[in-house]
Every structure is written in C-alpha cells, then in structure tokens.
Structure 1
Amino acid sequence: MNPWIDHAIWWHVYPLGFTGALHGDGKPGAPHGDGKPGAPHGDGKPGAPHGDGKLTKLIGWLDYLVELGANGLQLGPIFASESHGYDTLDHFRIDPRLGTEEDFDALVAAARDKGVHILLDGVFNHVGRGFAAPAHWLKGTAFEGHDALVELNHDEPEVADHVVRVMSHWLDRGASGWRLDAAYSVPPRFWRDVLARVRPAHPDAWFVGEVIHGDYPGYLAASTLDGITQYELWKATWSSLNDGNLFELAHAIKRHQDVVAAGTPMTFVGNHDVTRIASKLTDERHLAHALVVLFTLGGVPSVYYGDEQAYRGIKEDRAGGDDDIRPIFPENPAQLSTLGRPTFELHQRLIGIRRRHPWLVRARTEVTELTNTTAVLTSTDGVNRLTAYLNIGDHEHKFPEKSVGPHDWFIDEKD
C-alpha cells in the first residue's frame, strides 16, 4: 500500500510550458495575468527572464511548493516527444528540450531532500507518429481524431511488457507514482495486468488514471488503479457556483462518496487541459468557495501551477489552444507579481486546514443543509468531524450554528 498518499497534496506543473521549453525562445506563450481572479491579463510581458527551458529550473521552485503547503510535484510529460509531450517518441529518454536523465536525477534528489514526492505523466494510450515500434504494437488509428497521435494496441502482450519496463524504470529512478493519461481509452484489464507486475517491486507507488466520465468506482475496481481524476466533481464545482445552483454540487458530492469508497481520487479545480478556475468563474468572489470544496472533501488534492496566483487562461478548441493555460513561469518565485499573493495565502490557509486534518483524504461528506445559494458540508471519518459553510448569495445567511455573510464561507474545525 501507499500510506504517504494520505498526506499528499500535489502542485501540478506542465514542464514544457513552465520552463519555456515548448516555445524555445524564452518568451511566454501566453500572458501571465496580474494576479487578480477574474481580472485581465495585462500586457502579457514577462517581468523577468524565464530560464533556458531545463527541467532543473523546477529545483528553484521546490521551496515555493513547500511554502504553499504541498508535498508533491505532479509533472506533465517529460519524455522525448514530437511537440507538446503527449506525442511520445521515447519513454526512456528525457525530452532534450528539458535536459537529460541526469537533470531528472538532480530534480528527484532535490525533491527527496525536501520531502517532496514526484508523480510522472504516463502517456501509454497513444504515441507520436514517429514512435519507433513494430507495426503490431499500433492500432493504426488516430486518437480522438488527432492525426499526430496513434493509438497503441493494448491487446498486444509486447505493449504491456513495454509499459511495465517504462513504469519500473522511472520508479526505480525515484518517481513515486504515475498519472496515466487517457486511461479511459485503455481497457481496464490492461492496467490490472500491468500493475500486477509493477507493484511487487514498488508497493508504495500510487497510480491514478485520467478518467473523464462514466462509472468511476467500476473502473477503479476493474483496473485496480488507486485513483481516478474526479472530473465530475470539478465540473459541478464551477458550474454550481456560476449558476447559483448548489443542488448540482450536492448531487456530485453524493456520487463522490462512492468514488472515495473505491479509491483515492485526484481532486482539482484546474489542470493542463481545462480553462483556469479564475477564468471559469463568473464571480471572482467564488474562488474561495471552489477551494473550500477542493480541500475539505475526500480525495488527493492537486493545484495547477499558477492557479495559486489567480492566473487566468482560457482553453480553446484550435491548434495552439492550450498555450494560454500552459504558460512559462519566471525564473524564481521572487519574480512573481505581488498581486497574486492574496490568492496564494488563501491556498495556504485552506491547505493548512487540510494538513491539520489528514483524515479528510478518506472522509465521507454529507450536505446537511442546502438551498440554491447556501450549503453545509459535513465531513467525517467516523471519529473526526469538519464542517464547511458556504454562502454564495447576496445576503447574510443564518445557519442554525453560524451566520455567514454574503459571498462568504466558514470552516468549523471543532469535532
């Protein structure tokens, strides 16, 4: 088993964007914002040099990660690829734009010294067109209409052998687990069989699959994955806040209980594939409510880099449509705008509550009071209890235990 995951909070970074490697010229591929949720980007000019695109740039951000309250670095693709990282060419080689295997080793060593776990992005559903493999490894079909991506044949035993070797190689080299990209497109039995071969040598490793919709508990049971990405809860969080309909959130929370019972889902309000939460919300005052949901419900929280600074970014369905949500970061934390500090401190405050109550990772949550604009979320593990009060309405609301002002929230940590 992996007991460390009960205390994990991830800071999720897309390295090719973060380091500037994707763009190559040191210029930001998207504006950085002024640090205010819901505010314009500003002029989009970098406030300081952005580095040389190397993976080792992240070493200088580990203290920032720890200051935030996180203890895990969730990395997007870092292996040799044709462009954006999800079109892999070689699973055993660090992308030359990000450096070398020695650079990876240096990052792992620095992270280990600070008690930080590293989660790798495993793209094993599809590969780039230039991936060197025998024809029988490939289905020959494009993944979800993307001609640059060709699906692997998961009925082929040699493909399973390859994935076992790749997972084991990087776990041996210091990774703590894998996020499995597009896991929903892979037969659950493939993960079951692969993990049965990887886990004996790495019993503490954590494996979370990207699953967007469907039967989450059923997929967890059939695949033996430890967790899935909780997209249903993500959608209900921003949608209910925008629509003034907390009944949608309550419904998702009820369904979430079955997911927590089945595994340790990754919870989030932002990632590399979706519009940033500060851009998604129509009222910036509700960012705090979204974060209260993230950090008080069961699961393993993940914070997408820049969200803790209230960065904005909109995902668009076009070529290059992800650039805005995968920006270059400054060379070091001192070069961040001070305007993002309030949102950073809000994250710290809520992560601090999470740290004081690590049992929340497996907590069951019940919505004990509910209107369109108010809700009480009561979380417990059978012994401990934590209660979150949400008011997204325009007027003060008097709950039986507590009055909460308009567009405000309160967390009662008393058992």
Structure 2
Amino acid sequence: MTTPDWVDHVVWWQVYPLGFTGAEQAAPETDAPVRHRLPHLTAWLDYLVEMGASGLALGPVFASETHGYDTTDYYHIDPRLGDDADFDELVREAHARGIRVLLDGVFNHTGRSFAPFRQALEQGPEASTADWFGITWPEGWTPGTEPDYADFEGHHHLVALNHAEPAVADFVADVMKHWLGRGADGWRLDAAYAVPSPFWAAVLDNVRSEFPDAYFVGEYIHGDYPADVLAGHLDAVTQYELWKAVWSSLAEANFYELAAALERHNTFLDTFVPLTFIGNHDVTRIASRLDPSGRLAHALVLLFTLPGTPVVYYGDEQGYRGIKEDRAGGDDDIRPSFPASPDELSAIGQPLYHLHQELIGLRRRHHWVHAARARVHSLSNEQLVYEVYDAGHSLFVAMNLADTSVTVQVPAAARDVLAGAGGLDGTGGRLALPASGWAVLGPAS
C-alpha cells in the first residue's frame, strides 16, 4: 500500500457545501425542485488556485436529512445542492485547473430515512437489510413497532451501520467506486475512529483494486494513529493532536506543549503523513481563538512549514470568526455562506489572504517538507526555533510571542530570511525578531 504521489504536493481548501452555498437547513419535500447551488462553488475555483491551493476537500454533498452527516441516499447529490450534472461540471472544472477533489463519506452511520433502514423497520427481522444495522427486535415484533437500534454516540437520529455485515462492506465499496468513477480523487472517512479497522482494510483494498491512485484519510481525534493507519489500510488520519497544540501553545504562550507535540508528530511520520489543519467544520475558528492575541500569523506559519498534508478551512484565509457551541445549531456559526464571487469579499480579509498566498507559495517551492521531520533548536515559553529537514534540505523557523523584540540563536546554516520579519547579524547565528514576530530562514542561496 502506497500513498499516491500527487498527495506530496496538494494543499487542500476545505468547504462545507451546504453552508457555503446557503442551502436550507433541512431537506425539502420530496417533490420540491432541485436547487442548483454547486455552480456557486464552481465560481470559486479560480480563487482557490490564486491562493495557491491545489485541492478541493468537500464536506457532504449526498442526499441527507439536515446537515449532511445524516445521509439518506449515497448515490445522489443532495437536491439542495444540485444533481449529477452539477457535480460532474464541478469536477470537470476543478480538474481543468489541476485541482484534486476529495469527498466526505459518512459510512459509520446514516440518517433514519436511509432506504435500507426504512425497509428493515417496515419488514422486520426478516428484511434483507435487517442485518445492516444493530437492531434489537422486541419479542413478538409486529409491523409499526419501533425497535431499539445502535446509534452514533447517543444521537438517535444517526443510525449506526453494522460493520460486521459483509453486505455493508460491499455497499460502501460500491459507493466509493461510483463517485471515484465520476472523477473524485479520494475520500475523507467521517468518524473513521468509530468503525472497526478490519472493515476499512477490506473496503479500501477492494476500492484500490480499481482505483489505485485514490487517497483515503480517516477522521481520528485521538489514539494510536500509526496503528489505526496500518490496521485500516488508510493513507492518513486527521492530526488533531497537532491542531490542539498549535492553537493552545499560541493562545497560552507555552511553546513547550508544541515541542512535545512535534516529537509525537515525528513518530507518526515514520508510518504515514498526517492531514494537518488549524481549522475545520467541527471546531471554533482559529481567528476567534488567536486574532485578539496577534498570533494568528504564527499558526499559519506552523501549518505551512511543518510536515503534513495541509488543509485550509474556507473563510480562515479571510479571517472569518465563529464559535463552536455544544447545542442544536451550534455548528452554524462556523459553517457560513460565501458571497456569489470573491469580488464581494470584504477588504478586511485581504492581508490575511495575501499571507496565505505567500506561505503556500513558500511551501510549494519546498514541497519536500511534506514528509520531512522537525527538530527544536531553541525553546522557551515565548520563543521557539525549529528546523524542518530531510536528507538534502532544511528550513528554519523562529517565533516570538512576547510583546517586545528579542534576539534568538539560530543554527549557523540559517543564512537567508525567506519570509517574515527578522534581521540576521552579519556572521549568522543570531536573529533579531520584532514583538510578536516570526521568520522563515533557509541556507545560503
């Protein structure tokens, strides 16, 4: 099993389509007309390219009841977003610009309106799909009697699939192959941590037999990432440990937490290259956490100079704010709509967008960073100097969180300032950083 070569170069722009396009919060009546909203997203592909990204990571686009993670039909585009033709056009336009497309597959659970589940409820224990779910049938079941069933983490409207049932594995593999055949380049596997690893291994081996160039990344929040990757035959998992360390270290001025996370990150890289991010559709916006501190730029520098496959969550590049809340509708603030075109964005976000362009450009000129390693050279609560390296390359990064300027020691090989604001002394080895400053340095050119 090898990860496709194209992943070495990709920078994802992650979009939650139902929010991005301003779709209704719930699925319309069955006879409601299709709303062709995916073209709204197609109109932003040039913006993605101009930022420097090369991949579009889509949130749920399949028919669902509400937020997309309660899928009802895995073979049809959500009518709030459009139809197959709209999807095909989006993929065609993306590929014409060299943009890869990642789909979001919710294969741990379904919505209650998922046809095989409705069939099981209507026909009872003898239904051909009864074993697709963890249903507890009452003794002497009669039609119309609602049985108990396994769900996702106590959310009873999300019906857990039975991953020990071979028909479920065949179904999931067929869904994946269907959309890869329509042009998708890979899959994000939602709540992958809640699915037994042997299920993923069997399904992904099946899919790769027809689509060897596809990429599969699982959503894992904590645990033994390398073991999960190997057991599930995944290419990568989401690096939540590093995400937490980045924002927490910057918010609390505690680089020791980040340094410890980087040691763990290096051990993961011995097995796989994680998906790295500082924001996504499930967490409070990075600008809401860090912008008041003046340390938002530091988070971006970490994202684009550390090893991993980086993801930018739509709106983060414009400084969008949003607080994740643990309540019904608590995700709405972090999944906003975007205007019809980039021309309608506020000028307030332009400096941050340009910083994304600068740092993504730096990353793409040093694409070897993707699977490199990191080592810390100098560490205190408010200052950090680290090196990213492989067998033939090095970059050096220096950060200052203090509200006063400082001078830090950097390795003698750090000779040129490539980005940021820092002054090297004439002989090298010492770097002056302004208050809340940072710099990326390289060897002498």
Unpaired segments ≥5 residues, structure 1: 25-51
Q: CA deviation at 1:414?
A: 2.5
Between 1:300-309 and 1:146-155, the stretch displaced more is 146-155
Say if 1:16 and 1:53, in contact at 8 Å, map to a contact too: no
Looking at structure 2, the residues matched to 20 and 259 of structure 1 have their Cα atoms a distance apart, in angstroms, of 38
Matched, 1:136 2:145: no
Corresponding residue number in structure 2 for 1:407: 436
Residue of structure 2 aligned with 1:211, choices 202, 220, 223: 220
Corresponding residue number in structure 2 for 1:271: 280
Q: CA deviation at 1:282?
A: 6.2
Looking at structure 2, the residues matched to 23 and 159 of structure 1 have their Cα atoms a distance apart, in angstroms, of 28
Residue of structure 1 aligned with 2:91, choices 84, 88, 108: 108
Corresponding residue number in structure 2 for 1:89: 72
Corresponding residue number in structure 2 for 1:331: 340
| Mapping 1:184-263, distance limit 5 Å | 184-263=193-272
Deviations 1:203-224 (A, max 9, x none): 1111000000011111111111
Corresponding residue number in structure 1 for 2:382: 373
Corresponding residue number in structure 1 for 2:186: 177
Corresponding residue number in structure 1 for 2:21: 19
Scaled by the length of structure 1, what TM-score is found?
A: 0.92
What is the letter of the counterpart of residue 269 of structure 2?
Answer: V
Say if 2:36 and 2:86, in contact at 8 Å, map to a contact too: no
- Secondary structure at the residue paired with 2:438? strand
Corresponding residue number in structure 2 for 1:72: 55
Identity among equivalent pairs (%): 57
What is the letter of the counterpart of residue 98 of structure 1?
Answer: L
Q: CA deviation at 1:138?
A: 1.0
Corresponding residue number in structure 2 for 1:29: none
Q: CA deviation at 1:259?
A: 1.5
Q: CA deviation at 1:397?
A: 2.0
Between 1:224-233 and 1:131-140, the stretch displaced more is 131-140
What is the letter of the counterpart of residue 280 of structure 1?
Answer: R
Say if 1:233 and 1:252, in contact at 8 Å, map to a contact too: yes
Looking at structure 1, the residues matched to 291 and 337 of structure 2 have their Cα atoms a distance apart, in angstroms, of 25
Looking at structure 2, the residues matched to 111 and 337 of structure 1 have their Cα atoms a distance apart, in angstroms, of 25
Matched, 1:117 2:100: yes
Q: CA deviation at 1:201?
A: 1.3
Say if 1:117 and 1:176, in contact at 8 Å, map to a contact too: yes
Corresponding residue number in structure 2 for 1:39: none
Unpaired segments ≥5 residues, structure 2: 27-34, 117-128, 135-148, 410-428
Q: CA deviation at 1:141?
A: 1.2
| Mapping 1:137-152, distance limit 5 Å | 137-139=132-134, 140-152=149-161
Say if 2:251 and 2:293, in contact at 8 Å, map to a contact too: no
Scaled by the length of structure 2, what TM-score is found?
A: 0.86
Structure number with larger C-alpha Rg? 2
Looking at structure 2, the residues matched to 262 and 154 of structure 1 have their Cα atoms a distance apart, in angstroms, of 26
Corresponding residue number in structure 2 for 1:49: none
Looking at structure 2, the residues matched to 397 and 259 of structure 1 have their Cα atoms a distance apart, in angstroms, of 33
Number of corresponding residues: 389
Residue of structure 1 aligned with 2:38, choices 55, 68, 80: 55
Deviations 1:270-318 (A, max 9, x none): 0000000000226341101111110111110000000000000001000
Corresponding residue number in structure 2 for 1:385: 394
Corresponding residue number in structure 1 for 2:414: none
